[in-house]
A = this chain, B = another copy of it.
């Protein structure tokens, strides 16, 4: 404790078959922080513009997220994303991206954030991920996310960033692209050979898989009849996953990583039930734990007689 996250803080305008919203609070660091806030003390690092007001800060701080390192850039505007989803909610269609202050972001971590024992490097340029990793000398467990853009345009830097973290949390297609290996089990092993001891393959509605040395674990997505906005699901997963691990206060073993997969799945499922952060800010730990147990019940099957 605490857990530091570095990533985007954004305004998102999103349209899905179930409604639309203008300029909601969003961004990877926001979704991550809110999900993790149920388990531990979170410090969020990222830039915002002058259009980012006390109302947005309050969403984070009311959940107990430390916003000291939210950097307000004078004269700047906050990162903006506009996108939509058709009936296939698995595919986000980007209509507009304005990097704004995020385009010139150079993370500045306070002493409190640098001293975090756990660190999440959300999906940002890998050179920045490495800068942040180097600053966080006390981190004993670090994880990163990335995307196809960085695999294509900053591959060497991304490989160096991966070599320096304990855990990679990315979409399964990105694991394949990164390693040029279509078989996921082989691809995950190739990533572990770069350094990390754990690889989490996010698989959208199909759930997520965890690869560790000699072990495999997988969970389905929590089944929902009402998915309204998938934006932020992956970051909510990572927030539930790392937030739970950080809250343990000890080095995670495989059993802890599996429980963390459960919490990641649960937080992602709540996130997508409503637009933006609407559902997660109303959550309580009791709801989370109930769904965790429901997920366990959905994945249990009997041993063979006599085993």
Contact = CB atoms under 8 A, between A and B. Distances in A.
Contacts of A227: 183
A296 to B, nearest CB: 6
A236 B293 CA distance: 31
A281 B198 CA distance: 36
B298 A303 contact: no
A218 B225 contact: no
Nearest to A204: B206
Contacts of A220: 207, 209, 218-220
A162 interface: no
A182 B186 CA distance: 31
Contact of A301 (B223, B259, B301): B259
Interface in A249-307: 255, 258-259, 261-262, 289, 292-293, 296, 298-304, 307
A302 B185 contact: no
Given A184-B205, A186-B225, A217 B298 contact: yes
- Can you list the 8 inter-chain pairs with the closest CB atoms, starting with the nearest? A218-B220, A258-B301, A206-B206, A87-B182, A185-B223, A185-B225, A216-B223, A186-B225
A301 B225 contact: no
Contacts of A55: none
Given A207-B220, A220-B218, A299 B299 contact: yes
> Number of copies of this chain in the oligomer?
2
B301 A262 contact: yes
A203 interface: yes
Contacts of A184: 205, 223
Interface in A124-141: none
B299 A303 contact: no
Interface string A25-52: 0000000000000000000000000000
A299 B182 contact: no
Interface string A235-249: 000000000000000
A226 B212 CA distance: 18
Contacts of A255: 301-302
A46 B88 CA distance: 38
Given A183-B227, A223-B185, A218 B289 contact: no
Given A292-B304, A304-B289, A299 B218 contact: yes
Nearest to A226: B183
A186 to B, nearest CB: 5
Given A217-B298, A218-B299, A185 B304 contact: no
